[in-house]
């Protein structure tokens, strides 16, 4: 690489590793609100982490603390072994993308993308090549002379992304970057951003409230609720092995059963007034538990059907049948009044219609016990 690229950013080469980011005990209090409440986690070089949570869960505050726009009340931010808590925003070497592109409307696309380079004192004639490369990376090669106003929303967001990566920051922060785009464009951009972050070896911390986006894009998800870190793990872990009811409810649809687990012969069973839920594994003694069953694991059978062996069974009455293109969502009122959700393939005929009595069945292996839950 040339001197220019070295000057342009700490990571000059393609695929150079991103930063390692450690958050240790971050706290931010606004009046009565603990916006961020003792969050600690580590993002490894090149990882794509999503901060996921409902509105008000503290995602933006945490991201702005990492960027340096907001000072934490407690805790440390360590990037590549160096505590940057006291380093000003513009010296942190971090790229940022916001939901509202924040492009300068009076500047050309190229001038927008070149802005961070200008701030770093990269000479004008050296900027052009770096700008064009960044534009090509987001598939906007040749768009430099246009005005942002002449671009669609998706293209503007790609310009914002090019601007965020032009100086090759080892860390890219994004706050709901796709929130303003329509669904198709959002999905296309999810794939694009993921490809780009892998190619460049960037460490990315992305904020979203959209669980699908988090599951699709991330190497790791940090689920936040009320400022606290609820669970941190791979998408598969958060979806398949939720450690709390909050996590089970937030990621995907779920059916939760609460009760006492006890032995019945060779089986462990969650005893409920209606139906029975088989629980995988040995149960040494009776204990309280919450069992999670995902809607796609459940089969619907007519009420009178011969019971299958070794399955969980729950009677109910079909209350709704909602067609959703590639799947159908069937709601079933359980005998205790709770509503259960079932996802079926939309192509297969349903053995029931709304108002019918049915039995729901699922294999014990497809349920998950929330550890320590009572």
Q: Which is nearer to ligand ADP, 176 or 219 (CB)?
A: 176
**What residue ranges in the chain does DSSP mark as E strands?**
21-30, 33-43, 48-52, 74-79, 82-83, 94-97, 171-175, 203-208, 220-225, 228-233, 255-264, 267-271, 276-279, 287-293, 299-302, 312-324, 327-334, 339-345, 357-362, 367-370
Task: Using DSSP bridges, classify how beta strands 255-264 and 267-271 pair: parallel, antiparallel or unpaired.
Answer: antiparallel
Which tokens go with 167? 């100086």
Cβ of residue 51: shortest distance to ligand ADP, in angstroms?
8
Measured distance CA(113)–CA(157) in Å, rounded: 11
Q: Which residues bind ligand ADP (CB under 6 A)?
A: 30, 33, 35, 53, 55-61
18 binds, among ligand ADP, Mg ion, none (CB under 5 to 8 A by kind): none
Q: Which is nearer to ligand ADP, 21 or 35 (CB)?
A: 35
Cβ of residue 23: shortest distance to ligand ADP, in angstroms?
14
Closest-CB residue for Mg ion? 60
334 binds, among Mg ion, ligand ADP, none (CB under 5 to 8 A by kind): none
**Cβ–Cβ < 8 Å for 227, 58:** yes
Cβ of residue 207: shortest distance to Mg ion, in angstroms?
6
Q: Which is nearer to ligand ADP, 51 or 109 (CB)?
A: 51
Measured distance CA(76)–CA(222) in Å, rounded: 18
Q: Which is nearer to ligand ADP, 112 or 206 (CB)?
A: 206
Cβ of residue 35: shortest distance to ligand ADP, in angstroms?
3
Measured on CA atoms in the order 290, 294, 295, 297, is the torsion positive or negative? Answer: negative
Q: Which is nearer to Mg ion, 98 or 362 (CB)?
A: 98
Q: Which residues bind Mg ion (CB under 5 A)?
A: 60
364 binds, among ligand ADP, Mg ion, none (CB under 5 to 8 A by kind): none
């Amino acid at each position: 690489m040339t001197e220019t690229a070295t000057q342009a950013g700490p990571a000059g080469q393609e695929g150079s590793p991103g930063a390692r980011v450690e958050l240790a005990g971050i706290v931010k209090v606004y009046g009565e609100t603990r916006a961020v409440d003792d969050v600690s986690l580590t993002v490894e070089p090149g990882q794509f982490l999503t901060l996921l949570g409902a509105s008000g869960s503290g995602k933006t505050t945490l991201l702005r603390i990492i960027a340096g726009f907001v000072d934490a009340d407690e805790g440390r931010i360590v990037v590549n072994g160096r505590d940057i808590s006291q380093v000003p925003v513009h010296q942190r070497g971090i790229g940022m993308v916001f939901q509202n592109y924040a492009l300068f409307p009076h500047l050309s696309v190229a001038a927008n993308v070149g802005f961070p380079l200008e701030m770093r004192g990269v000479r004008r004639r050296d900027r052009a090549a770096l700008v064009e490369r960044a534009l090509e990376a987001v598939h906007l090669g040749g768009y430099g002379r246009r005005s942002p106003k002449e671009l669609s929303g998706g293209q503007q967001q790609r310009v914002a992304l090019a601007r965020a990566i032009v100086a090759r920051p080892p860390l890219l922060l994004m706050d709901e970057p796709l929130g303003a785009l329509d669904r198709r464009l959002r999905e296309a951009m999810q794939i694009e951003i993921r490809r780009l972050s892998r190619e460049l070896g960037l460490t990315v911390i992305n904020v979203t409230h959209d669980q699908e986006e988090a599951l699709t894009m991330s190497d790791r998800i940090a689920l936040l609720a009320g400022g606290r870190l609820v669970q941190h793990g791979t998408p598969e872990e958060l979806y398949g092995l939720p450690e709390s009811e909050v996590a089970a409810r937030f990621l995907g649809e779920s059916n939760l059963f609460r009760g006492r687990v006890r032995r019945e012969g060779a089986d462990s069973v969650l005893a409920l007034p209606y139906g029975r839920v088989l629980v995988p594994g040995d149960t040494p003694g009776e204990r309280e538990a919450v069992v999670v069953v995902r809607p796609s694991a459940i089969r619907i059978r007519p009420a009178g059907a011969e019971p299958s062996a070794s399955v969980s069974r729950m009677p109910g009455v079909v209350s709704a049948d909602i067609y959703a293109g590639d799947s159908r969502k069937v709601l079933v009122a359980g005998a205790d009044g709770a509503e259960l959700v079932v996802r079926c393939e939309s192509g297969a005929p349903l053995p029931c219609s709304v108002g019918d009595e049915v039995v729901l069945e699922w294999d014990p292996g497809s349920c998950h016990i929330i550890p320590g839950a009572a």
